Amino acid sequence: MISILNVTHFLFKPSQFYAVEGIAEAAQYADFFNNDQLTSMNCVHVAAPGMSLLVDASNERIEPDSPTAQQNVPQPPNLLAQLAANDIAPADITHVVITHPHTDHISGLTCNVDGQWRPIFANAKHYLGKADWDSQMVQTELQDPSTVIAQTLKPIHDAGLLVLVEGDLDFGNGVQIWATPGETPGHQAVRVQSGNDVTYIIGDLFHFPLEFTHMDWLVTWKDRPSALASRQRIMQAVTTEHAHIIATHIFADTASH
């Protein structure tokens, strides 16, 4: 069973994140690029045989008076409250897959207890793409205690809970990790199969619904060749398998196929 836990939503103006001058249809889609788009922050819980899996853990909160808050849409409860509402305690989680170590996807992995950062999902192995761990960004930030990387990945690593994933990984219970580099070098997606029902939890492989019909629209920080190859790989599988898609920043009702 798959539960989508949207822990916050915020406004995101696409023109700030694309190199719009390089997009041929930019003028035609000016409304999209130049207006705030309401964006979700979906963490996902998967209950599979022998597994209570959390995909990404976000503690992002948007203050109601923030300029990035949509005034008329109340903010949802935080991740732990939503897990509790599903009768899931942090200690029940057996696996955490980190799609990639950007702050919004990892800020809910640890909490500060008496000045010490501690893993919240203390019984879970945490699966991170090795290429992300090895990246210069992560290795640099690990050295600086003020960074979210140092406050999350380091205590998880030090507790022996971090598993570095190279390529794909099959858990053997219908759940797999697929390497989908592009957003970051180690970005990964999760494929869940239950009978004939297949779902891909794709993290930040796509940021906006329009990217599904404009596969070459990429936010500026993506590595173009690997992002395009990853999108192709996932969408080919989605089409063949008539699969569902859950993307972190796309509201569930617009993300499903």
The smaller minimum CB distance to Zn ion, of residues 32 and 206, is found at: 206
Residue 245 near residue 238, CB atoms below 8 Å: yes
For residue 49 the two structure tokens come to 């045989």
The smaller minimum CB distance to Zn ion, of residues 99 and 151, is found at: 99
The smaller minimum CB distance to Zn ion, of residues 171 and 208, is found at: 208
Q: Sign of the C-alpha dihedral, residues 134, 139, 142, 147?
A: negative
The smaller minimum CB distance to Zn ion, of residues 141 and 204, is found at: 204
Closest CB 8 distance from Zn ion, rounded Å:
11
Closest CB 17 distance from Zn ion, rounded Å:
11
- Single out the residue of 7, 154, 178 nearest to residue 97, CA to CA: 178
The smaller minimum CB distance to Zn ion, of residues 104 and 132, is found at: 104
Residue 120 near residue 80, CB atoms below 8 Å: yes
Residue 222 near residue 182, CB atoms below 8 Å: yes
Residue 62 near residue 69, CB atoms below 8 Å: yes
Distance from C-alpha of 67 to C-alpha of 73, rounded to nearest angstrom: 13
Closest CB 197 distance from Zn ion, rounded Å:
26
The smaller minimum CB distance to Zn ion, of residues 132 and 204, is found at: 204
For residue 18 the two structure tokens come to 């694309």
For residue 95, the cross-strand partners are: 53, 125
For residue 209 the two structure tokens come to 């619904």
For residue 164, the cross-strand partners are: 128
Rg (CA), the chain: 18
Closest CB 24 distance from Zn ion, rounded Å:
26
Closest CB 240 distance from Zn ion, rounded Å:
27
Closest CB 217 distance from Zn ion, rounded Å:
16
Residues found near Zn ion in the complex (CB under 5 A): 104, 204
